[in-house]
Structure 1
Amino acid sequence: MNSTVNSSRAVQNDFKDVFIRNFIVVFFGITINYINGIFVFIFSRSLVFYMESKYILYIHLVINDMIMLAISVTLHVLTYAAPLVNVSVCCILLLLGSMTHKNTPMSLAGMAVERYIAICKPLHHSQICTVRRTYMLILLIWCVSFIAELADIIILLVMRPLSFFSSSTLCYPLVVYSTSYNADKSVTVNVLFLSFVWIILIYTYFRVFFAAKSATTDAVSAKKAQNTILLHGVQLLFCMMSYITPLLEIILVPLFPNDRNKITFSNFLITNVFPRFLTPLIYGIRDQKIVSYFKKYFLICIVTCKW
């Protein structure tokens, strides 16, 4: 009798823990996407933002983060609500999630280059950073990330029977892409991507830093651009943490076996959810033009609601 009661209590406690974890993830996911959605709304209602490349790149990063966060939260909830997912459906979700994940560092690199051109080559900025070229850059970013992630599916098509795609599995990259070729490809691509982005961020940061010391450059604008690129580096560090999450879990879980769920949950929040909140902070709150339009629409909303 006591064992039955204890089992019932254990099940209730597990359900309570799962519910709380999923509630926290969904709550923060909706909240962050709501905040990002406000900036998307402001951008869509203000034609002035359509004419400047830095705002186009910014809003692309915001939309990319919204998609990535939505997919990450969906996959997290699915691991508890419906652990086994059709492999074909899972591959599509993982493809979109991985693409948006890789889009983030490439977008940060593109935004850093735009700021470098604006500060170090101001006379050529309007000719180099045109609206058309900005959209071409965004298209290139998506194409590169799509090709990089499509390689995983092609490897599966070669290494696995077709029946594998009609089966069900836990929708987790290391589970679905479990071949040695997938692992080698993942390491190679991640090293190339992150090395490329870090080289660009470091180069643009120091070029803007030295430009800020010269008398021919607007020191205030250069300092602001310098801080923006530095914040991009912080955001990239958070993105990189997702690559070392499995290693952290391998180290921490044996040390704290009773806290396995807490460790994996904390890692998920720190590497997948909270970094998505940095994007509106870096540009949205620090940019006076966006803040002015935000106040404008906020006041209109207050007046409208009163009526």
Structure 2
Amino acid sequence: MVINDSAQLSFSVTLFLLSYIVFLIPVPLCCVFLLLTVFSTRNTPLNLAAMAVERYVAICRPLRHHQLCTAGRTYLMVALIWLASVAPDLSDLFVTLAGEPPGFFRGSVFCLRANVFPDPVMTHKRVAFDCFYFLCVFLTLTFTYVKILRAARSASARSGLAEKARNTVLLHGVQLAMCLLSYVSPGVELLLLLLFPARTREIRYVGYLLVNVLPRFLSPAVYGLRDDKFRRYFDQMQRSCWAPRKARRRPPGGALG
């Protein structure tokens, strides 16, 4: 999740800066950055679902955890997540390659998805795929949260492991809700552009921060600060930075009476 979010931020920040500095960029370069950004963005909810299922197996099926959650199965799951993320948008690329004239790809555009993939059918297909993926992820998170919540309340969960897993799945739900901002942002951005046409750059900049950057801040919180070992070293570093010095240097010549 952290690697995927880092890649998404790298691609989207690069594309955002290019759009602001250069304004018009070549169509092939725009396609590459758009597709990489979309792939890593769509990966986020699918990763949340996969990790929630892993927590469910660890808490509710502990005897089978070492059999189901192996390294090989993890690599296979990552490959399936990427395949599910890549397939819908690669079809858009193939349709654009087949339908647009060759001169279109030799030109430059302001790098927006509507400018590169203008067919309205692609928009409806993209919305349908996104709704299907988010519905599956929402049902998965709801199911695993309810099951882990029951395990946390049972007598066998006094160690606190199930309680921590329940909080992790709950944070996954918060991340998913923040990812849903990508559905609301186009309509809100269009309304704001109509009301404040002179503030186009500011509106798009704030929308980028809220939709693309802010949801990615939760990953370090979930998998960094909540980790016991990382938090222990983090607390030690804070104490070493803020604790007052126990011994101060004496002025040369000794203490004055």
The TM-score range, normalised by the shorter chain, is 0.7 to 0.9
Equivalent residue for 2:214? 274
Equivalent residue for 2:203? 263
Partners of 1:213 and 1:219 within 8 A in 2: no
Equivalent residue for 2:79? 139
Alpha-carbon distance, 1:254 to partner: 3.0
CA distance in 2, matches of 1:270, 1:129: 34
* CA gap 1:127/1:290 in 2 versus in 1, 3 angstroms: farther
Alpha-carbon distance, 1:257 to partner: 4.2
Alpha-carbon distance, 1:218 to partner: 4.0
1:1-307 aligned within 5 A: 61-218=1-158, 220-292=160-232
CA distance in 2, matches of 1:177, 1:219: 53
CA distance in 2, matches of 1:175, 1:71: 18
Partners of 1:87 and 1:169 within 8 A in 2: yes
CA distance in 1, matches of 2:78, 2:38: 16
Q: Please state which structure has a larger fraction of its residues in helix.
A: 1
CA distance in 1, matches of 2:217, 2:79: 24
Please report the TM-score for the alignment, with normalisation by the length of structure 1. Answer: 0.73
Alpha-carbon distance, 1:263 to partner: 2.5
RMSD value, Cα? 2.0
CA deviation map 1:52-102 (0-9, x unaligned): xxxxxxxxx111111110111111111121111111111111111100001
CA deviation map 1:233-257 (0-9, x unaligned): 1111111112221111123333444
> Which has the larger displacement, 142-151 or 225-234?
142-151
Q: SS at the partner of 2:109?
A: strand
Alpha-carbon distance, 1:188 to partner: 1.1
CA distance in 1, matches of 2:200, 2:63: 55
Q: SS at the partner of 1:216?
A: helix
Amino acid at match of 1:215: A
Q: SS at the partner of 1:85?
A: strand
Q: Percent identity?
A: 42
Alpha-carbon distance, 1:224 to partner: 1.1
Partners of 1:67 and 1:100 within 8 A in 2: yes
* CA gap 1:260/1:85 in 2 versus in 1, 3 angstroms: closer
Alpha-carbon distance, 1:130 to partner: 0.7
Partners of 2:12 and 2:33 within 8 A in 1: no
Can you give the 5+ residue segments of structure 2 that lack an aligned partner in the other structure?
Answer: 242-257
Amino acid at match of 1:158: A
Structure possessing the higher radius of gyration over alpha carbons: 2
Amino acid at match of 2:12: S
CA distance in 2, matches of 1:250, 1:86: 25
CA distance in 2, matches of 1:219, 1:151: 49
CA distance in 2, matches of 1:293, 1:171: 43
Please report the TM-score for the alignment, with normalisation by the length of structure 2. Answer: 0.86
CA distance in 2, matches of 1:229, 1:197: 12
* CA gap 1:162/1:258 in 2 versus in 1, 3 angstroms: closer
* CA gap 1:290/1:137 in 2 versus in 1, 3 angstroms: farther
CA deviation map 1:243-299 (0-9, x unaligned): 221111123333444544332221110111122221010111101134457689x79
